[in-house]
Amino acid sequence: MPEEKKPAQDAGEAAPRPDGDHRALAEASPDDVSGYAVLEDGVPVTEVRADGIFSAARWARDHGYRILSLLSAYDDGKTEFGVLYAFVKPANTPGDFAEMRLKVRMPRKDEAGNDLEPECQSIVDVFSAADWQEREMYDLYGIVFHGHPALRRIFMPEGWSGFPHRKDYREPEQFIAMRDGEDIVLKTQEDGSW
Partner 1 sequence: MVGARDVRDQIPATFDAGRLKTVKVDDRHLMELNMGPQHPSTHGVLRLKVKLDGEIVVDVEPIIGYLHRSSEKLAENMNWVKFIPLTDRMDYLSAMHNNHGYVLAVEQLLGGPDEQVVSERAEHIRVFAAEMSRLCNHLFWMGTFMLDMGALTPLFYALRERETALGFLEELCGARLTFNYFRFGGVKFDLPDDPTYLPRVKTFLADMPSKVDEYQRLLKRNDILVGRLRGTGPLSRDEVLDWGITGPMLRASGVAHDLRKVAPYSIYKELDFDVPTATESDCYGRLVVRWAEMVQSVRIVQQVIDRIEKRDLEGLHLNPDYAGGKILRVKAKGEAYSRIEHPKGEYGCHVIGDGKLQPIRVKVRAPSFANLQVLPIMARGQKIADLIASLGSIDIVLGDVDR
- Binding to partner 1, residues 41-60 (CB under 8 A): 41-43, 50-51
Q: Which lies closer to partner 1 via its Cβ, residue 31 or residue 190?
A: 31
DSSP 70-114: EEEEEE-SSSEEEEEEEEE----STT---EEEEEEEEESB-TTS-
Q: Sign (positive/negative) of CA torsion 154, 158, 162, 164?
A: negative
Q: Which of 10, 128, 184, 186 lies at the binding interface for partner 1 (CB under 8 A)?
A: 128
Q: Decide whether 28 or 67 has the Cβ nearer to partner 1.
A: 67
Q: How far is the CB of 91 from partner 1 (least distance, A)?
A: 4
Q: CA nearest 65: which of 44, 88, 86?
A: 88
Instruction: By CB under 8 A, name the one of 46, 143, 165, 173 that touches partner 1.
Output: 165
Under 8 Å between Cβ of 121 and 147 = yes
**How many other C-beta atoms are found inside a 10 Å radius of the C-beta of residue 76?**
13
Q: Does 33 bind partner 1 (CB under 8 A)?
A: no
Quote the least distance from Cβ 182 to partner 1, whole Å. 10
Buried b / exposed e over 125-143, threshold 16 CB at 10 Å, is ebbeebbebbbbbbbbbbb
Shortest Å, Cβ 126 to partner 1: 9
Q: How far is the CB of 187 from partner 1 (least distance, A)?
A: 17
Among 22, 44, 46, 74, binds partner 1 (CB under 8 A): 74
92 binds partner 1 (CB under 8 A): yes
